[in-house]
Amino acid sequence: MSAKGIHPIISEYNLLWEALKHYEERLEKLSSMSTDEDQQLKYDEKLQDIEGILNSIKIAAKNDYDLALE
């Protein structure tokens, strides 16, 4: 993330992490409750995107501040 021009501070990394984890939990719940296969697929695609973003944030936080996000 920081290589592309943004350089969050530690509190911003933590805030991004918490917000995305919360959204991830919500999407998991919506996906499991959905009876519409198309809608469930949309939720699952968003979950995959969030997983990639979380991994990027985790790596950037580690590289920038030696911060371990879990």
pLDDT digits (tens, 9 = 90+) for 19-69: 999 999 999 999 999 999 999 999 999 999 999 999 999 999 999 999 999
Would 47 be classed as within a structural domain?
yes
Q: How many domains would you assign to the chain?
A: 1
- Residue 10 Cα distances to 19, 42, 62, 69, angstroms: 14, 31, 10, 10
Would 29 be classed as within a structural domain?
yes
pLDDT over 70 at 11, yes or no = yes
What's the pTM? 0.84
Would 3 be classed as within a structural domain?
no
Would 57 be classed as within a structural domain?
yes
Would 17 be classed as within a structural domain?
no
State the residue range of the domain holding 47: 24-64
